[in-house]
Chain A
Amino acid sequence: MPVLSQILEIVKLNITLEWRQRQSILAVLLYVLTTTYLCYLVFNGLISSETWNALYWIVLIFAAVQAAFRSFQNEADRRFLLYFSLVKPQVLIIGKTIYNFFYLLVIGLFTFLLFLFLLGNIVADPTAFIVLLVLGSAGFACILTFVSGLAAKAGDNPALPAILSIPLLYPQVLALSRTSIRALTGFSWTVNGPVLLVLLLLALVSLLLSYLLFAYLWRD
């Protein structure tokens, strides 16, 4: 079977499994809902563009870490043996990353709508914000999928996924939040073009690293 269709199979398999265990994505969405509502209660009357933007990325990053960590948690032992006999580890990590990209994008869009609803529709350029969100989801997926695989192998220390992955996400979150604040106030594609390119390159570098290193990670 050619590699591309194998990757597609992994993505499809993950979507099917996700559909069968709907409560897990609902749990993540509920997590976003409760934390956003918490922000709404605590920051009532204090919402400016800056706080809106900062809260959005903080809520999203914690939701993303939780969501991505689940992607390997259940299969560290059992289902992985099946994968390992069927596909190469490189195919597995690429497939998982693509799947997580869509997953995180859904969570990001949901959080975005929720923020618009609860914390106020103050986004001047929603298209620019969503483009940033797509780039951010890609970058998050590349790093988080790999680190979740690592954390799942390292045992069930509940703090581990967060402390291993959040420092690695700093470069992206910094670039994303600095740029997305401009989407709230007025966005120029020519000025922010280089930042978008940097975000894309960051995602590609982390994807390349996970492609190269994942085989070592899962060899037992």
Chain B
Amino acid sequence: MKTHWWKALGVVFVLYAIVFGFLGPVPRLPILNETIRVLYFHVTLWFAMIILMTASLSYSIGYLRNNSPLRDLKAREGAVTGMFLATLGLLTGSLWARFTWGAFWVNDPKLNGTAVTMLIYLAYFVLRGSVEDPQKKARLAAVYNIFAFVMMIVFIGILPRLTDSLHPGNGGNPGFSGYDLNSDMRMIFYPAVIGWTLIGVWIMNIKIRYTKLIWKQNEHLD
């Protein structure tokens, strides 16, 4: 129990976000109406994704420092899990866009940022797949991960602020805190971010343990 409490916390937070996300009070806003509840899933999944991608980045930097295969494994699984959360965030966001902006996909800087993030990480997986030698694979992947992460932050963080966006907080729109993320919503929003991150770390841990078992088995066979 001492080492697994955070998994329970993750489950509790996510369940809390699901139950109170659908039942709790939300501000009545034109156009958004009840769809504002998607915020608890779409935005929180994206926060969790960025946290996991950052973890992956730090493992990649760590790998370049000491060349431990475990760091490389952690970097890979961080990126895989982040990609999984990104896909969920994309689907929920797409659904939300359909009911507020009228289309599943609109030409908006934040959406282009999403697309570029996912393409970069897909390219990262293709790069990993096309190198045979495990050490070389790990090194090239770590280098690309660092380079790509910085470009991704530039794209999703800086460029949308230069042009208009349909998202809040850009192009003269007020941010969330300005009008709609009131204290009721914050009480669900922040636990949901923590919950999704913990669930993500849990998924990542299971995948790492699984690969470690395969390594052990291969050693045994050798």
Chain A residues proximal to chain B, CB less than 8 Å: 143, 146-147, 150, 153-155, 157, 159-160, 163-164, 166-168, 170-171, 174-175, 178, 194-195, 198, 202, 205-206, 209-210, 213, 216-217, 219-220
Contacts and interface: CB of A to CB of B under 8 A. Distances in A.
B154 A157 contact: no
Interface of B: 64, 112, 116, 119-120, 122-123, 126-127, 130-132, 136, 139-140, 142-144, 146-148, 150-151, 154-155, 158-159, 162-163
A174 B139 contact: no
Given A163-B119, A171-B154, A220-B136, 13 more contacts: A150-B140, A155-B130, A157-B126, A157-B130, A167-B123, A167-B148, A168-B120, A168-B151, A171-B116, A205-B154, A216-B64, A216-B139, A217-B139
B130 A175 contact: no
29 contacts: A143-B151, A150-B144, A154-B140, A155-B130, A155-B131, A159-B126, A160-B126, A164-B123, A164-B127, A166-B119, A167-B116, A168-B147, A170-B116, A170-B155, A171-B159, A174-B112, A175-B159, A175-B162, A195-B162, A205-B150, A205-B154, A206-B147, A206-B151, A209-B146, A209-B147, A213-B143, A216-B139, A217-B139, A217-B140
A147 B144 CA distance: 8
A50 B155 CA distance: 23
Contacts of A154: 127, 130-131, 140
A163 B146 contact: no
Contacts of A219: 139
Contacts of B151: 143, 168, 171, 206
B68 to A, nearest CB: 15
A166 B126 CA distance: 14
A193 B139 CA distance: 39
B110 to A, nearest CB: 13
Contact of A198 (B64, B143, B162): B162
A211 to B, nearest CB: 11
Contacts of B148: 167-168
B136 A153 contact: yes
Given A154-B130, A154-B131, A216 B143 contact: yes
Contact of B119 (A167, A174, A175, A206): A167
Contacts of B154: 171, 202, 205
A210 B130 contact: no
